[in-house]
Chains A and B, each alone.
Chain A
Amino acid sequence: MKIANQPFWLRLLVAALILFVLATIATACQPAAPTAEPAAGETEEEAASPAEGERTLTAWGFVWTADWLDAIAPGFEAEHPGVKLKVERFEYDPYQDMVLTTLASGEGVPDVATLDPMWAGDLYRGGTVLALDKATTELNVDDFVPGGWNLYAWQGKQYGIPLDLDFNLLFYRNDVYGQAMESLGMTEFPNTTEDFIQLSEEVVEQTGKPAFIIYQSDYYAWYQSFLAPYGGNLINEAGTEYIYDSPEAVAALELYSDLANVHKVAKLWDWDTDGDPMVALSGGEVMGVMHGSWFATEIASGAPDMEGQWAITTVPFGEAGRPFHSATGGASLSIPTGAAEPELAWEFIKYSMTPENQAEYFKIVAGVPSLETSWDDPAFDEVNPYFGIPLGSQVAEWSLGAMPMQLPSLEVADLIGEAIYQATTGQASAKDALDEAVEMAPPLQ
């Protein structure tokens, strides 16, 4: 039965059949629908279609946030019989990509998504996330730190409920700075630009090493520790124009550059050229750095033999008596447009915002929640062995002094990063660099 001898149509049929079989194999061979990502996480979903009366709520979280979601899930399921919470867990880097594309396409969106303020702004303005109209009525706004709550508001509407507040703190070598303070006769850690420059110059002189790190091209580092305490902002109140070229912003950028180039107390750190700063910090090459409170865990594991040598305080830049010492970041819970169960999603968000569940968040994620009523939990008063202070309650107290800063986009982040590069390498004045960055920024809706 030679194939070549058969009539044309038969061969066509056979060919089509073969192609069809191949296609089916291909589809069948595809890896199964996503379960939780690998690594040290628990998996827990069946891809079960909900039985009669059973509904599934999908929540996305990255790393430890997913762990927390898993932890509080049973309580929610108990309160809502017939509802299953399906938690999907991602690593941080691919998560951003995944969220942005999925939400933008409107297909396969979760019901609850953890969002980082850095790229959440884009999502709010694009209508990719639902406005949470019940936020102000069903939650007590006063229970939240304003710096957290207002961060996720846009043009009068609330788009996210804040989880933890992340704002910059100065991590510094207690022993080294303490010595310098003694030589200068300082009794309290300086809290103004002028005093701090004086102290760090002394540190440099005594150790011959930079007093702290300043990140090159890092818009985040700049707006948190400099723009905010200098009273500047990224977007104006009305949300209609960019103002990161205001005189305050220019002053903030000039200081950023001067600290490295003029006063020579800071090391301009470039991740590409200089590598991982932890190496320098643990090796005694640099005496300080500014990061969010999450860095406490990092340095404890990165430089374990330096226990007790590191201390934390609020960012010391700015004038005396300034209202804010840093700006807030963190994470939030939002409901994407096109979610299958928006009502249920809102119920879950409400459920997660109880003092108990937020205390649980603190214990698992180690970030201080925005919900002030959760701070009563004894976990916050536990003394952190590495730093010798009750880290939870201390950071919670400091969080009251962090300002919410309206959210720009990835594009603006890139532009500001470039402006920082130009200013710190002397290629342009701070004012020109920022003016250009504002000019090139995409228009706000």
Chain B
Amino acid sequence: MASRIESLNHADIGAKNNQWGKFWRAAIPYIFISPFFVGFVGLQLLPISFSAFLSFAEWSGLNQIQIVGIKNFVTMVNDARFWNALRVTFTITVVCTILGTAGSLALAILIEQVRGWLSPILRAIFFLPSVTSVVVIAYVWKQLYNADFGFINAVITQFGLPAQQWLTNPRLALPSLIIMLIWAGLGWDALIITAGLRSIPDDLYDAARVDGASGWAEFRYITLPLLRPTLTFVLVTSVIYLWGLFAQPQLLTGGGPIRGTQTVALYLYDVGFRYHEFGYASAIAITLSIIMFVSSYINFRLVRTEVEY
């Protein structure tokens, strides 16, 4: 990484040295970052502050904003629907992250074993869901999961198994969602892991083989440790993404049955945009943001582990 220290303020070299010139040169970086920061202040900083403010108020969108102190947070703690959403989201996050990361690791390693023209094709196929719109994925899977004419039931009934209500049985809805999520995320994570795999120098493996190490030992003592930053990155991004999950459950099941797949983000949307309780919704939003921020910060620090070799 080219060091920041090394790069002089190279606007100084060979340039005019009068007052005006000096002022301009100093101003340049600020000018350059201003488009971003202007937008940032207007579209992120101020809204976030307003959101934080709203979380201590009650507001239906048109009537007066009423400050109510921590009432929203008290309501939230007592709200069974909120805890349900938390439970649902937590389940999704844990299961999908663990299974997804393990799955993509396996997939990346396996694809690496394949030589020639086949491997880019395979990689592209597995990567398809990552570039497909969430809406498309959700609706196609909705068709597949359909109890009456869906492909999945058609296949399992061929094997004599009873047709299942994948999306309307309270016990099956969440697993169905999770399966779809894992399917959709494998290719992307596998790609990142592949990049990580390729950054491991071959001589390490060669040396290990000379010493007579088995494939499994190679994996345990070389691959895994050196992949740590990559894996951690995958874990971090998965966790952040899954905590904020909204579109897939909304489109696949609408949060049902009976809030069985209602994530925190989904509940937040309901409270804000269907029930028009913007104060309470903001409280939930701020809470969700804190959860996500804490998760990413913790993982961010974990990434900083140096690996010596």
Contacts and interface: CB of A to CB of B under 8 A. Distances in A.
Nearest to B60: A126
A409 B274 CA distance: 10
B165 interface: yes
A270 B256 CA distance: 12
A127 B63 CA distance: 6
A201 interface: no
Given A127-B62, A440-B79, A421 B258 contact: yes
B259 A418 contact: yes
A105 B278 CA distance: 12
A104 B165 contact: no
A100 interface: yes
Interface in B93-122: none
Interface in A207-232: 217
A104 B258 contact: no
A418 to B, nearest CB: 6
B130 to A, nearest CB: 28
Contacts of B240: none
A273 B168 contact: yes
A100 B276 contact: yes
B277 interface: yes
B147 interface: yes
Contacts of A418: 258-259
A421 B260 CA distance: 13
A440 B62 contact: no
A128 B165 contact: no
Interface residues of A, number: 27
B257 interface: yes
B166 to A, nearest CB: 11
Indicate the member of B63, B148, B168, B276 with the most A CB atoms within 10 Å: B276
A270 B169 CA distance: 11
A156 interface: no
Contact of A126 (B80, B256, B270, B276): B276
A100 B257 CA distance: 25
A53 interface: no
Contacts of A411: 274-275, 277
A234 interface: no
Interface string B46-82: 0000000000000011110000000000000001110
Nearest to B61: A104
A442 B277 contact: yes
B80 A104 contact: no
Contacts of B256: 272
A418 B81 CA distance: 11
Contacts of B242: none
Interface string B255-274: 01111000000000010011
B190 interface: no
Contacts of B147: 273
Contacts of A414: 270
Interface string B275-293: 1110000000000000000
A427 B80 CA distance: 16
Interface string A100-126: 110111100000000000000010011
A103 B62 contact: yes
B226 interface: no
Contacts of A103: 62
A258 B249 CA distance: 32
A123 to B, nearest CB: 9
Nearest to B253: A272
B167 interface: yes
B167 A272 contact: yes
Range class of the B interface residue count = 20 to 34
A275 B146 CA distance: 11
B257 A272 contact: yes
Contacts of B258: 217, 418, 421-422
Contacts of A47: none
Contact of A104 (B60, B167, B168): B60
A95 to B, nearest CB: 15
A440 B81 contact: yes
A150 interface: no
Contacts of B259: 418
Interface in B222-270: 256-259, 270
Nearest to B275: A411
A225 B227 CA distance: 63
A233 interface: no
Contact of B62 (A106, A272, A409): A106
A65 interface: no
A410 interface: yes
A164 B157 CA distance: 49
B98 to A, nearest CB: 30
Contacts of B80: 436, 440
Contacts of A101: 273
A337 interface: yes
Contacts of B81: 440
A122 B276 CA distance: 9
A125 B277 CA distance: 12
B62 A105 contact: yes
Contacts of A127: 62-63
Contact of A270 (B168, B273, B274): B168
Contacts of A217: 258
Interface in B164-203: 165, 167-168
A272 B257 CA distance: 9
B148 A409 contact: no
Interface in A398-445: 409-411, 414, 418, 421-422, 436, 440, 442
Nearest to A436: B80
A133 B195 CA distance: 71
A104 B276 contact: yes
Contacts of A422: 258
B200 to A, nearest CB: 41
B66 to A, nearest CB: 11
Contacts of B165: 273
B275 A409 contact: yes
B269 to A, nearest CB: 12
Contacts of A273: 147, 165, 168
A410 B275 contact: yes
B25 to A, nearest CB: 11
Interface in A228-278: 270, 272-273, 275
B148 A128 contact: no
Contacts of A104: 60-62, 276
A418 B257 CA distance: 10
15 contacts: A104-B60, A105-B61, A105-B62, A122-B276, A127-B62, A127-B63, A128-B60, A272-B168, A272-B256, A410-B274, A421-B257, A421-B258, A440-B80, A440-B81, A442-B275
Given A126-B61, A422-B258, 4 more contacts: A101-B273, A104-B61, A126-B276, A409-B275
